[in-house]
Amino acid sequence: MGDNMKEKTKKMIQIFISILLFIIVIIIDKCCDFSIEVRFCMYLVPYLVSGYDVIIDAFKGLLKMEMFDECLLMCIATFGAFLLCFVPNASPEFIEAICVMIFFQIGELFEIIAEDDSERSINSLIDLMPSSANLEMENGKVKKVKCESLRLFDTIIIKKGEKVPVDGEIIEGSTSLNTSFLTGEAIPKYARVGDNIMSGCINDGDVIKLKVMKTYEDSTASKIIEMVENSNEVRSNSDKFITKFARIYTPLVILCALILALVPPIFDKNEVLWINRSLSFLIVSCPCALVISVPLSYFGGIGAASKKGILIKGAKYLEDLAKVNTVAFDKTGTLTKGNFEVVAIHPNVLNEKELLHLTMHVESFSTHPIAVSLKDAYDKYSNVKDKCKVKDVEEIEGLGIKATVNNEVIYVGNEKLMNQLKIKYNKCNRVGSIIYVASNENYYGHIVISDQIKEDSYNAIRDLNEMGIKTYMLTGDSEEIAKYVSRELKIYKYYASLMPKDKVKIVNKLEKANDNRVIFVGDGVNDAPVLSRSNLGVSMGGIGSDIAIESSSIVIMDDKVSKVIDSINLSKKVNKIVKENIILALLTKFSVLGLALVGLAPMLLAVFADVGVTILAILNALRTLKL
């Protein structure tokens, strides 16, 4: 940001001095009768002041064999206008040449201002991270330290109004947190002892003590900043096309300009006329408007999305969102709240408390929402710690968990697990997630756990249906639950009882059938394989998980399904602005190129076709910041 400010100030001073010298030279030229050589030297001063950096860049480009950039074209055209003074019967175009350079610098200034505005939008995220933290020392005193020096399990104090510097667990106090920097929503979140909170939140309530659970570099806000800063590395297809277009278009125009300057004079002997036309032709040919405005539009769109709590990893993903015609959702934690509750306990050999107790022990090492609900349910029965010994815990992918409890191997999982182990069990027909519990010798019973559909999911699916976008649901849950949720939300089609690899296969199949215009939306933890392998993977509410950021193309920083629609709509608006700039630039350039061929485009009109259109395209691109 500081470098941009210096560059902007430097450019403004350069333009001001250039214009001032230009006016002085014109006045002196009008008042005195100088020779052409003296006039050449006089006008050369404001020309060099206004264009010295362009000349330097053109020379560097020549050394690097980059012969077709706008700086070289500008130098050839403007210096050619100066050299007309030494051509017999030609009228030098000093004023026009200097105007070209000054207008070019004004265009550069607008580009710097536009980039500055875009970067300010992106860099506002850096405010998520404070520079220091209040570290509690072993003697009880508090010392202000740099956030980078914090270590795992340090204790820090967050005062009212302060930002949370690192992810951690509250060990003392309770408070209200402002999460708007993370989620784009100004809804306060209540937090108390035992709750995990993310860096970037603002403490709006009482003083709290936090145990550091992630270092500064690994904290949520740092990951967000890193992700957004790297977003310009993933270029859009439009941007790549413009780059390829410029590589072919620019040398082709230079060749046309040379032909225009050399061939027609053979027949009509008017060299000056055709040299003037070729110089105008060169100025018009610069593809500045396209090269600048297209990436700037996507950069601004990514900044606008970040303000809404939507992190997009690159311009390509923002561009692709506009083409989406199919959305596939995970169920648990995405369309549903993921807040499971035990609604029924059906023991077979044990009593209800014993069955719940046994199940809880097997699930005690899992962080899955179902496991958490079992622990919560057991706490209602008893908060007394027992002496059960649990070891050899092993997750069986897509089926359940195996563990040894007091030297007995216990299996906890779904029907597939029971069938695979050939255990006779009592099938439960209630709607919900059915957790079956058994050992090699006994079937102990099952527990029914239920989840709730998010209110936001109803609106989101309805809006997607109205937009003509097909919706799918992919879940590892049973057929009964999948059918119920699908019917409630009016989802086009669902797939149930899926393992992670099954989701990957289905999404790949959907992508092939729908020309890669498919989004997969998951919780960012259990769906990492399909998120990472999808063309467009969206993590929902999983911003606290490193794997969510690493595996997704897009991260929605809260649990609102409707933000998928917000991201699609934003993408369509950004792509519309990009198309407007491309059409404006190409139509203007080709029109003026045609006029230049027939001698109806003087150099100043050529300047407008280049610099003027560039400024208009930049101003149009800046609209993306306000979306």
For residues 333 and 525, give the distance between their C-alpha atoms in angstroms, rounded to a whole number.
10
Q: Would you kindly state where each structural domain of the chain is located, as residue ranges?
A: 2-123+231-263+270-299+572-626, 130-215, 310-337+453-557, 341-450
> 562-597 vs 455-466: helix axis angle to the nearest 10?
40
How long, in residues, is the chain? 627
For residues 598 and 601, give the distance between their C-alpha atoms in angstroms, rounded to a whole number.
8
pLDDT tier for residue 188 given thresholds of 50, 70 and 90: confident
Residue with tokens 């563990």: 403
What is the pLDDT, as a whole number, of residue 4?
Answer: 66
Whether the Cβ atoms of residue 216 and residue 222 lie closer than 8 Å to each other? yes
Residue with tokens 């919706």: 471
What is the overall mean pLDDT for the chain? 83
Which among 330, 477, 559, 610 is annotated as catalytic?
330
Is the pLDDT score of 361 beyond 80?
Answer: yes
Which H or E run contains 436?
strand 433-439
Per-residue pLDDT tens over the stretch 586-627: 888 788 878 877 777 776 777 777 778 888 888 888 888 787
Is 330 part of the annotated catalytic residue set? yes
Per-residue pLDDT tens over the stretch 495-539: 998 888 899 999 999 999 988 899 999 876 668 788 888 889 998
pLDDT tier for residue 305 given thresholds of 50, 70 and 90: confident
Q: Which of 153-157, 239-243, 593-597 has the highest mean pLDDT?
A: 153-157
For residues 359 and 401, give the distance between their C-alpha atoms in angstroms, rounded to a whole number.
10
Give Cα 479 distance to the centre of its chain: 35
Largest CA distance in the chain: 115
Partners of 473 in the β-ladder: 329, 494
Q: Report, as an integer, the average pLDDT of 545-565.
A: 81
The rounded radius of gyration (Å) of the Cα atoms in the chain is: 33
What is the pLDDT, as a whole number, of residue 19?
Answer: 93
The class (CATH top level) of 310-337+453-557 is alpha beta
Structure token pair of residue 332: 């648990």
Stretch among 169-183, 234-248, 260-274, 475-489 having the lowest mean pLDDT: 234-248
Alpha helices in 422-527 (DSSP H): 455-466, 479-489, 500-513
Alpha helices in 490-561 (DSSP H): 500-513, 528-533, 546-551
pLDDT tier for residue 465 given thresholds of 50, 70 and 90: very high
Per-residue pLDDT tens over the stretch 92-114: 678 878 887 888 788 778 777 76
157 vs 219, more confident: 157
Fold held by 130-215: 2.70.150
Q: Report, as an integer, the average pLDDT of 189-218.
A: 88
What is the pLDDT, as a whole number, of residue 384?
Answer: 47
Percentage of the chain beyond pLDDT 90 is 27
Q: Measure Cα distances from 232 to 229, 312, 320 in Å.
A: 7, 10, 15
Fold held by 341-450: Calcium-transporting ATPase, cytoplasmic domain N (3.40.1110)
For residues 615 and 107, give the distance between their C-alpha atoms in angstroms, rounded to a whole number.
6
Task: For residue 37, count CB atoms less than 10 angstroms from its CB and return exposed for 0-12, middle for 13-18, buried for 19 or more.
Answer: exposed
pLDDT tier for residue 332 given thresholds of 50, 70 and 90: confident
Whether the Cβ atoms of residue 173 and residue 203 lie closer than 8 Å to each other? no
What is the pLDDT, as a whole number, of residue 202?
Answer: 86
Q: What pTM was computed for the model?
A: 0.72
Q: Which of 108-117, 170-179, 268-277 has the highest mean pLDDT?
A: 170-179
Structure token pair of residue 183: 């989620």
What is the pLDDT, as a whole number, of residue 158?
Answer: 93
For residues 405 and 387, give the distance between their C-alpha atoms in angstroms, rounded to a whole number.
10
For residues 622 and 396, give the distance between their C-alpha atoms in angstroms, rounded to a whole number.
51
